[in-house]
Structure 1
Amino acid sequence: MTSLLLRLAGPLQSWGERAAFPAVRDTAPFPTRSGLIGLISAAEGRGREENPQDYAALEFTVRVDRPGVLLSDYHTVGGGYPKNRTAATAGGGNKGAAVITRRHYLADAVFVVAVTGADDDIDRIGAALESPHWAPHLGRRSCAPDEPFLLRTGVRDPDAELRTRVPLSSPHRSDRQPRQHDNGAGTVRVDFLRERPPPGGAGNGASLSVQDMPVSFAPQGRIHGKRHLYRTTEDLSRSLLTEPADLHRRLIDYALETTA
């Protein structure tokens, strides 16, 4: 088993976890498994009709560097045009009125994700992410990721990398209730989300159930199942914290290091 590390950062990202096209298009507070597998399968050039169960053995660990701020976009489509130039409503009708949605985003959020699987699978996925068939996006096509995006491949101990080596983005001043803060002991507290009990046993964190396990991405038959996550808040060395002016250089230096 080996891993690769992705840094998901950008002005906006959105990880929907409910209906595909509701009036309110929500976002989860962290990258969903469905969104991450969609990102990987798009990089590999797979169509929506292909079975995502090929990725069922992948395991994801998410470090929440910065939770971001929830942003709601009042969005309209059409309106003021003849019926044949106006989007159809959810009921199939077309009255020439605007279709209104409210789309939610995470602004200024940063996550580092470890993707773990069989060596051959991770090698293939890493190659696809380095030269993607379709450009990666952070939940929606309009949400492009910052660079560096793929930090490292061939990681043998992803938990140790996330806890002791990967540079940590400093909290943004606009974060009203940042989960990451100095606890006065030379460390900072950072949230993690894992798909298996954290080190030290399940008692270390809260268990939650989410409906984001992709069963089908087919446009007319999207299906998602449940999975369990373990959320922990852990003390990391304050030396990982990096101010914005130095962050890009430090991330590039880390990405170019020889994997141990």
Structure 2
Amino acid sequence: MSALILRLAGPLQSWGERSAFAPVRDTAPFPTRSALTGMFAAAEGISRDDSGALHRYRPLRFTIRIDRPGVPLIDYHTAGGGRRTSRTAATSGGSNKGAAVITRRHYLADAVFVVAVSGPEPTIDRLARALRRPCWAPYLGRRSCVPDEPLLLHARAADPETELRTRVPLSRTPQPTSSGTATLAVPFLYEHPPTDGQPGAEADTVSVNDIPLSFSPQARAYGSRTLHRTTEQLPAALAGPQHTLLPRLIDYARDHA
């Protein structure tokens, strides 16, 4: 087993969970498995209609470190309207009645997630090559949400959870405290019970419906999974002044990607 470590950051992210083509397009508070699978499939040049290729991503296991949860943002969005029917945008169902298409699109602003993607070494090596030279550019849930660089921090981590806890720079400025503590409380999401976590890091569970079974626009389907959520104390040294963050991320990526 090996692992990629990705840093998902940008001005906006949107990880739709329940609202495909609905007037209100929500976002989950963290990257979904379906969106990450879609990112990998796009990088490898796999089309949405090739649902048979999804089996190649089923052995992958995800661990998410939430550096910054982001600020919820809603965009009141309109398309078309005020023109004759032939010049008005059609809905996802193909209808076109000349009215404006109105949606409320939810985003996370200024969020940062670090994701460890574990799997068989040949799969991880293949995904690393695809992310370095993607067929279709990666995005953070929606095409308008462009990721910051560096995206790929580590191409072959032997112990990804230790990397997340002790080595990957933390995208957060430490706040001074009266107790002078040397740690920061950071949320994690695991796909398995974190038996190797820090002592006292108790986990609760959350159920999500984001395992992709089909990406076909006419027949999208998803399965459910259970995530284990903890808050762990990480060394405050992983964070630092904002002006040093990008150089530290670049140095880390150069050493491991």
Structure 2 length-normalised TM: 0.93
Matches of 1:22 and 1:15 in 2, distance apart?
14
Aligned counterparts, 1:5-44, within 5 A: 5-44=5-44
Q: Which residue of 2 aligns with 1:208?
A: 206
More deviation in 90-99 or 35-44? 90-99
Name stretches of at least 5 consecutive residues in structure 1 with no aligned partner: 173-179
Distance (Å, rounded) in 2 between the aligned partners of 1:49 and 1:95: 28
Of 24-33 and 181-190, deviating more is 181-190
Moved more, 198-207 or 60-69: 198-207
Structure 1 position 189 matched with structure 2 position 185? yes
Partner amino acid for 2:186? V
Structure 2 CA distance for partners of 1:8 and 1:78, relative to 1, 3 Å: same
Cα displacement (A) at 1:87: 2.2
Tell me by how many angstroms 1:19 deviates. 2.7
The residue that corresponds to 1:78 in the other structure is 80
Equivalent pair of 1:5/1:152 in contact (CA under 8 Å): yes
- When the two chains are superposed, the root-mean-square deviation of aligned CA atoms in Å is 2.0
Contact 2:156 2:256 in 1 (8 A): no
Query: After the TM superposition, which residues 162-177 of structure 1 pair with which residues of structure 2 at under 5 Å, given as runs?
Result: 162-170=164-172
Question: Could you say if the C-alpha distance between residues 89 and 148 of structure 1 is closer, same or farther in structure 2, counting changes exceeding 3 Å?
Answer: closer
- In structure 2, the residue matched to 1:250 is 248
Equivalent-residue separation in structure 2 for 1:93 and 1:82 (angstroms): 14
Residue identity matched to 1:188? L
Structure 2 portions without partners, runs of 5+: none
Query: Secondary structure of 2:123's match?
Result: helix
Contact 1:169–1:243 under 8 Å retained in 2: no
- Alignment-derived partner of residue 223 in structure 2: 225
CA separation of 1:142/1:99 partners in 2, compared to 1, >3 Å: closer, same or farther?
Answer: same
Question: How many residue pairs align between the two structures?
Answer: 252
What amino acid does structure 2 have at the position aligned with 1:38?
G
Q: CA deviation at 1:93?
A: 4.3
Change in 2 beyond 3 A, CA 1:41/1:92: closer
Displacement of 1:204: 2.1
Q: Is the 8 A contact 2:150 2:250 kept in 1?
A: yes
Aligned to 1:53, the other structure's residue is in SS state: helix
Distance 1:239 1:147 in 2: 22
Q: What secondary structure does 1:214 align onto?
A: strand
SS of residue in 2 equivalent to 1:168: coil
AA paired with 1:30? Answer: F
Q: TM-score, normalised on structure 1? A: 0.92
Deviations 1:48-93 (A, max 9, x none): 1122122100001000000000000000010111011112346754
Q: Deviations over 1:112-152 (max 9, x none)?
A: 00010000000000000011000000000000000011011
Partner letter of residue 45 of structure 2? G
CA separation of 1:46 and 1:69: change in aligned 2, threshold 3 A: same
Q: What corresponds to 2:56 in structure 1?
A: 54
Counterpart Cα distance in 1 of 2:101 and 2:72: 23
